[in-house]
Structures are given as C-alpha cells and as structure tokens.
C-alpha cells in the first residue's frame, strides 16, 4: 500500500510529470516528422521536443519559438558560409562567432542564441550544408518537434501553480493572525513574550509578502496558454484581489506589535484599559482567519460576522476609555486607531467582493 501511495505521489510531482511528457513528446515528434517530412532520421524534431518542453506551457511556447528561430538562422548561416568560403577550421569558428552574434542581435535570449551556432554546426558537420532540401527538411523537423512539445504540455495535465499562491496567502494570514493574538496577550498581561518577540513578527511578515508576490507571479506564468485553467484563474483572481489588503494588514499588524512591544519594554506601570483593547485585537485575528477560510474555498463568500464583531468590540473600547488620560493612554489609542484602519480596509474589501 505504501509503495502504491509513493508511486502516486511521485507521478504527481511536477518534475516527474515534465519528464514523462518530454519522453512522450520526443516519440510523437519523431513519429510525426518521419511521416510528414521524410524518412530520414528526424533528430532535429526530437531535439526540438526535448529542448522546448518545460514546466509551464508559456515557457514551452517561448522555448519552442526560440528553437525554431535559432535553427532557421543557423541553417541559413551554414548554407551561406559554405557557398562563400567552404568548410575548414577557420570557417567553423566564424560560423560560431556569427551565429552567436546573430542570436544576440535578434534578442533571442539565453536559449535561442546558442541554437543559431549549434544548428549551423550540426548541419555543417553532417555534410549537407550545400543541400537546400536537407536544410529545409531539418527546419521542418524542428517546427514539428516544437509544436508537438507545446501541444502535449498544454493538453496533458498542464502545471497549475495557483494552489501555491493560495497557500502563500493563507500562510501569511495565519502569520498575521498569530501576531495579533500574541499582541493581544501582551496587552492583557498574560504573555511571557519579550518585546523583541513581538517585533520579530514584522520581519516574518516581510518575508511572507515577498513569498506571496513570487507565488502570484509564478502562478500567472503557469496559467498562460493553459486551456484547462478556468477554475485556476478564478482562484488566482481571488488571491490577487486580497493581495493589496494583505500588504496593508501586514503594515498595520507590524505597527501594532511594535507599539505594544515598546510599551512592554518601557516599564510604564499601570496601563488601562488594556484588557478591552486586547479583546478587540484578539477578535481582529479571527477576522483574518475567516479570510483564510474564504481563500481556501471553505466559504463561498468572505465572512462578515467576525468583522462586525471586531467593529462592535472596537466601538465598546472607545466608549470605555477616558479621553482625558495621560500620554501612555494616547499610545494605546494609536494601537486602537491602527486596528480601526485595518477593520475599515477589511470592510471595504468585503463590500467590493460582494459587488
């Protein structure tokens, strides 16, 4: 049973699936090139399939186009140089030099640039550099191989990285919720956390934002040219919609944690009414958890109840505080005001989500 589960997990791996599709594309490209182009061994079709197929469909399209242009340029250069100077030690070097130069001038990238020189050398070394028919056949092989690679990668289980973007967003929400919970505990004087522990969450949140942006970019790339990705695009739109809210919430959570950490480290003595504010911040963490459940598909719509409860507790806090207290109380007000801005941002987001 463990062996079967292990094999299933291995087959779901992106690397293994890409290798399987590459092998399939190579076989199909060889078979198709023999029938469409001619009986000669279509090594260029096989090479184009191997070099074109990559993890994402968009990358396969890019690699395929570069491969086709590189082969076309290399073959043309080999034929022209053979006609002018013939084949010798010096012209081989010139072929490579001109091929790399042509690739650079055409902006063919790291993959396409060497293909010009490599393709020219292959045609030349095979001794067919004076045969236009052979050159056109190898170009046709390349077109077949690249096309097959793109089609197989796009039609057979194309990679979808949108779940990784959701995971990154949910992970960031969990991190922010934890930071709010610990900030709440520090305000209620039930936490053994040191001020630097609270400030550490800010640095962790910075890393979470970077990971989220990277995951969204990779997911967008994976869904380009993906004909089966309708539901995945909907998931990604949901993550992108909440990205801005998460960035603002991270800034606000970090500010609250830092301010409470400063109060903890200041030895300011009695602080009032911290327990009420602690309840507000604790409930704000519940609002973030509800957003994570929506992103995970556990809710059809974002949850209003947790946000409304946070707003109610925040209002109760403002009604309770004494507006004439000292500077320390004003520092606590800054925490409450920051929490209020986070609540307002969440309400704006939820209203847009329902439109």
Q: How much of the chain, in percent, has pLDDT values that exceed 90?
A: 21
Residue 24 lies in a domain: yes
Residue 121 lies in a domain: yes
Q: Which of 50-54, 94-98, 122-126, 308-312 has the lowest mean pLDDT?
A: 122-126
CB-based contacts of 142: which residues, under 8 Å, 6+ apart? Answer: 44, 45, 47, 48, 67, 68, 71, 72, 119
Q: What pLDDT is recorded for position 170?
A: 92
Is residue 82 within 8 A of residue 70, CB to CB? The reply is no
Distance CA 119, CA 122 (A): 5
Answer with the one of 124, 155, 186 that is the final residue of a domain.
Answer: 155
Q: What pLDDT is recorded for position 31?
A: 94
Q: What would the DSSP string read from start to end of 253-292?
A: HHHHHHHHHHHHHTT----TTHHHHHHHHHHHHHHHHHHH
Answer with the one of 130, 155, 180 that is the final residue of a domain.
Answer: 155
Q: How much of the chain, in percent, has pLDDT values that exceed 70?
A: 82
Tell me which DSSP letter residue 251 carries.
H
* C-beta pairs of 340-344 under 8 Å, 24+ apart in sequence: 340/314, 341/252, 342/248, 342/249, 342/252, 342/253, 342/284, 343/284, 343/287, 343/307, 343/310, 343/311, 343/314
- From the number of C-beta atoms within 10 Å of its C-beta (0-12, 13-18, 19+), residue 302 rates as buried
Identify the CA nearest to 138 among candidates 72, 73, 79. 72
Q: How many domains does the chain have?
A: 2
Residues 197 and 126 in one domain: no
- Say which residue the tokens 């556990």 belong to: 298
Could you read off the pLDDT of 231-265 as tens digits, one per residue? 889 889 889 988 999 999 999 998 888 888 777 76
Could you read off the pLDDT of 102-127 as tens digits, one per residue? 778 777 777 677 777 787 777 776 65
Residue 321 lies in a domain: yes
Residues 338 and 303 in one domain: yes
Q: What pLDDT is recorded for position 5?
A: 45
Identify the CA nearest to 137 among candidates 42, 49, 28, 35. 42
Sign of the alpha-carbon torsion through 125, 128, 133, 134: negative
Answer with the one of 155, 183, 210 that is the final residue of a domain.
Answer: 155
Residues 207 and 136 in one domain: no
Residue 5 lies in a domain: no
How much is the mean pLDDT over the chain? 81
Distance CA 303, CA 294 (A): 8
Is residue 239 within 8 A of residue 165, CB to CB? The reply is yes
Residue 198 lies in a domain: yes
Token duo for residue 240? 């992108």
Residues 338 and 242 in one domain: yes
Is residue 285 within 8 A of residue 201, CB to CB? The reply is no
Query: What is the pTM for the complete model shown?
Result: 0.77
Is residue 302 within 8 A of residue 350, CB to CB? The reply is yes
Is residue 296 within 8 A of residue 166, CB to CB? The reply is yes
Distance CA 42, CA 145 (A): 9
Residues 127 and 191 in one domain: no
Residues 257 and 138 in one domain: no
Q: What pLDDT is recorded for position 309?
A: 85
| More confident site: 335 or 108 | 335
At 331, which CATH number?
1.20.58
Distance CA 122, CA 5 (A): 44
Residues 179 and 325 in one domain: yes
Token duo for residue 69? 């242009």
Could you read off the pLDDT of 171-222 as tens digits, one per residue? 999 999 988 988 888 888 765 666 677 777 767 788 889 999 999 999 999 8
Residues 105 and 147 in one domain: yes
Containing domain of residue 275, as a range? 162-354
Residue 4 lies in a domain: no
Residues 304 and 200 in one domain: yes
Token duo for residue 86? 């013939």
Residues 137 and 28 in one domain: yes
Q: Tell me the pLDDT band of 134, cut-offs 50, 70 and 90.
A: confident
Distance CA 114, CA 108 (A): 9
Give Cα separations from 57 to 61, 80, 132 (angstroms). Answer: 6, 35, 33
CA angle 73, 79, 83 (to 5 degrees): 140
Residues 111 and 223 in one domain: no
| More confident site: 191 or 144 | 144
Residues 102 and 175 in one domain: no
């Amino acid at each position: 049973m463990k062996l079967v589960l292990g094999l299933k997990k291995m087959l779901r791996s992106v690397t293994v699936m890409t290798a399987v599709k590459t092998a399939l594309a190579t076989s199909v490209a060889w078979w198709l090139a023999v029938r469409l182009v001619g009986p000669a061994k279509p090594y260029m079709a096989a090479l184009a399939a191997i070099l074109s197929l990559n993890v994402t469909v968009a990358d396969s399209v890019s690699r395929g186009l570069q491969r086709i242009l590189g082969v076309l340029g290399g073959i043309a250069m080999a034929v022209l140089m053979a006609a002018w100077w013939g084949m010798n030690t010096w012209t081989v070097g010139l072929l490579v030099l001109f091929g790399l130069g042509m690739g650079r001038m055409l902006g063919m990238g790291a993959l396409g640039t060497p293909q010009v020189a490599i393709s020219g050398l292959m045609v030349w070394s095979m001794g067919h550099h004076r045969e236009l028919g052979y050159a056109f056949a190898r170009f046709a092989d390349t077109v077949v191989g690249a096309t097959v690679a793109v089609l197989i990668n796009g039609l057979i289980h194309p990679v979808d990285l949108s779940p990784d973007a959701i995971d990154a967003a949910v992970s960031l929400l969990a991190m922010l919720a934890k930071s709010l919970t610990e900030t709440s505990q520090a305000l209620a004087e039930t936490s053994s956390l040191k001020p630097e522990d609270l400030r550490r969450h800010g640095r962790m949140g910075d890393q979470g934002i970077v990971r989220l942006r990277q995951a969204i970019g990779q997911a967008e790339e994976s869904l380009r040219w993906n004909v089966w990705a309708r539901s995945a695009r909907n998931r990604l739109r949901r993550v992108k919609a909440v990205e801005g809210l998460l960035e603002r919430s991270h800034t606000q959570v970090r500010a609250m944690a830092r301010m409470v950490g400063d109060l903890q480290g200041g030895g300011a003595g009695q602080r009032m009414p911290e327990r009420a504010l602690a309840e507000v911040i604790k409930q704000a963490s519940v609002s973030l958890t509800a957003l994570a459940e929506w992103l995970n598909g556990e809710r059809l719509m974002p949850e209003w109840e947790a946000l409304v409860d946070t707003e109610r507790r925040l209002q109760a806090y403002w009604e309770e505080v004494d507006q004439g207290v000292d500077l320390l109380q004003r520092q606590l007000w800054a925490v409450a005001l920051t929490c209020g801005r986070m609540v307002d941002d969440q309400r704006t987001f939820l209203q847009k989500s329902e439109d």
